Structure 1
Amino acid sequence: MDSPVILASLPYALGIVMLGLGLSLTLDDFRRVGQYPRAAVVALLCQLVLLPAICFGLVLAFRLPPELAVGMLVVAASPGGPTANLFSHLFGGNVALNVTLTAINSVLSAATLPIVVNLSAGYFLPGAAGIGLQFDKILQVFVMVLVPVAIGMLVHAQAPEVARRLNLPVRILSVVVLLAVIFAVLYGERENLAGYFVSVGLAALAFNVVSLLAGYGVPRLAGVDHPAAVAAGFEIGIHNTALAITIALSPTLLNSAEIAIPGAVYGIVMFFTATGFGLLITRRARTSLSR
């Protein structure tokens, strides 16, 4: 991935995705965690603790090459996003909880992502100079994640009608941007693509399926109701892969096309598995109600 145009456009592409997120958020979304304390705490623990641990076990089990292993963990540490909210809405989840979890996860990821990146790079790539996020790079991640969200929230607060009108177009543009970024990564690495899919495809699929099931199942075991568990399942199973890819490709961050590959593969897989997961839990819910 050596196209200067693509590399230069990545931060702007991510900015569109994060701006779209901010346009749908208010400060009440952060305060609302008190309305769903059990669901929010369980989902956040799954996102911040369980997911990286599961991903670490899977990359070891699948014996992924070091760069692909790091890329998988970058995906695991990336928060959910507007796509998770959309799937939750389609399949009967508690969308308000989704929005709250997305808001909190997006803020927390500015701190947790660098930790996961540094730990995974130190473990899998101990001899690679320059891999990992130092303080200046951590600050850059913080700015990339939070500034567009803050701008979107400011527009929402000061000009709610403008935010309302922009919300749908920016959401659609966010999906288009995500697909374009994924396509650009895959096209840039087309000569190695078959090998990458063989190496990381099953691991990405397994991680996505486990994430969706854990995101739904763990809250249910903790006594969380079905709609809230659906919201948690999509929030934990659907990641902001545009963020993961940008961190991997950015010349001032990880600067590695190989590390970006798991994000691109996961970004394709998650649309299909999330749809299947949504249909499955909807059918189970209907069956339970009919008894």
Structure 2
Amino acid sequence: MDSSLLTIGLPIALAVIMLGLGLDLTPSDFARVARRPKAVLVALACQIVLLPLVAFGLVNLFGLSPLLAVGFMLLAASPGGTTANLYSHLFRGDVALNITLTAINSVLAIITLPLVTNLALAYFAASEDGLTMQFGKVVQVFAIVLIPVGIGMLIRAKAPDFAARMDRPVRIASAILLLLVVLGAILGEKDNFGSYFAQVGLVSTLFCAISLTVGYIVPRLLGMTDREAIASGFEIGIHNSTLAIAMAVTVLGEAEMAVPPAVYGIVMFFVAAAFGMIVSRRAAPRTAV
């Protein structure tokens, strides 16, 4: 992968995206858990427990190479982000629930990302020069995830008018930077990308579709409203692929691991849009009644 993207572009892109996430968050987003624990706990259980199991099953079913398999597990352990909030808004989901889930998941990622990554490395890539996520790398995850979010929340608390004005520009910048990061990850592996896409394109599409479906159906079966289930579906099905790419490239130093989240970062937009149209049409008649 291009060194300038690796050393400058990727950390800046991720910092802007996580800062934008922080600008949307307030302490009340965390406190909301006490007021609606069922919706939050069901979605978190799907995100933290079911998705890694789904990803594990898919990478074994399709026989992915060790580094690509670890990249998929990294993706499965990554939290949702502002794109999930946007889709939820467009397709009549409960955006407040999305914001709450994003806030909690961003904190839990400090634990879940290293845990899932170490388990995946031990299982899939034990022979890859002893790759492990050591304590120093866990500290990097902490810095990557929480520091920009914390700065964004501080700006929101101290200068709410400025944070409100910056919300739209930062969202636009985040979307552009996400695209650039995904393209950079693809170009960095351009010699192998055709074969990589052949290996992970279908898996990425299936994983996205399954994630969205699980995130919607499980809450509905447990009695949550359509709006809550739609929000949960998008939160669980739309991952922070930039964070997964940054983990693969800057923390673990393996560009090949960045390929699954890069491919996912492309296909998820189309799969999530199709999912949104289906569930919002199903929800509309019930809402009208």
TM-score under structure 2 normalisation? 0.98
2:272 alignment counterpart: 274
**Map of 1:206-285 to 2, 5 A cutoff?**
206-250=206-250, 253-285=251-283
1:6 is aligned with what amino acid? L
2:5 alignment counterpart: 6
Shift of 1:36: 1.8
Identity rate of aligned residues, in percent?
A: 54
Shift of 1:132: 2.5
Shift of 1:199: 0.5
2:268 is aligned with what amino acid? M
Q: Distance in 2 between matches of 1:154 and 1:83?
A: 22
Structure 1, residues 235-284: CA drift from partner, whole Å, max 9, x if none? 0000000000001111xx21111100000000001000010000000111
**Map of 1:10-21 to 2, 5 A cutoff?**
10-21=10-21
Listed as ranges, the gaps of 5+ residues in structure 2 are: none
Shift of 1:160: 0.3
2:280 is aligned with what amino acid? T
2:149 is aligned with what amino acid? V
Secondary structure, in 3 states, of the residue corresponding to 1:183?
helix
1:189 alignment counterpart: 189
Secondary structure, in 3 states, of the residue corresponding to 2:224?
coil
Secondary structure, in 3 states, of the residue corresponding to 1:101?
helix
Q: Distance in 1 between matches of 2:288 and 2:30?
A: 36
2:179 alignment counterpart: 179
Structure 1, residues 22-52: CA drift from partner, whole Å, max 9, x if none? 0010000000112221110000000000100
Secondary structure, in 3 states, of the residue corresponding to 1:79?
coil
Shift of 1:289: 4.9
Shift of 1:287: 4.0
Shift of 1:285: 1.6
1:52 alignment counterpart: 52
Find out whether 1:124 has 2:145 as its counterpart. no
**Map of 1:12-31 to 2, 5 A cutoff?**
12-31=12-31
Q: Distance in 2 between matches of 1:64 and 1:273?
A: 22
Shift of 1:15: 0.5
Listed as ranges, the gaps of 5+ residues in structure 1 are: none
Shift of 1:12: 1.6
**Map of 1:24-173 to 2, 5 A cutoff?**
24-173=24-173
Q: Distance in 1 between matches of 2:57 and 2:231?
A: 25
Structure 1, residues 58-80: CA drift from partner, whole Å, max 9, x if none? 11011111111100000000000
1:286 alignment counterpart: 284
1:264 is aligned with what amino acid? A
Shift of 1:290: 6.2
Secondary structure, in 3 states, of the residue corresponding to 1:80?
coil
Secondary structure, in 3 states, of the residue corresponding to 1:127?
coil
Secondary structure, in 3 states, of the residue corresponding to 1:126?
coil
Q: Distance in 2 between matches of 1:110 and 1:289?
A: 38
2:31 is aligned with what amino acid? R
Secondary structure, in 3 states, of the residue corresponding to 2:64?
coil
Q: Distance in 1 between matches of 2:77 and 2:200?
A: 17
Q: Distance in 1 between matches of 2:4 and 2:67?
A: 24
Q: Distance in 2 between matches of 1:229 and 1:286?
A: 13
Cα RMSD, aligned residues only: 1.0
Secondary structure, in 3 states, of the residue corresponding to 2:126?
coil
Q: Distance in 2 between matches of 1:36 and 1:268?
A: 33
Q: Distance in 2 between matches of 1:254 and 1:137?
A: 8
Q: Distance in 1 between matches of 2:213 and 2:97?
A: 18
2:277 is aligned with what amino acid? L
Q: Distance in 2 between matches of 1:159 and 1:94?
A: 26
Q: Distance in 2 between matches of 1:34 and 1:278?
A: 28
2:92 is aligned with what amino acid? G
Aligned residue-pair number = 288
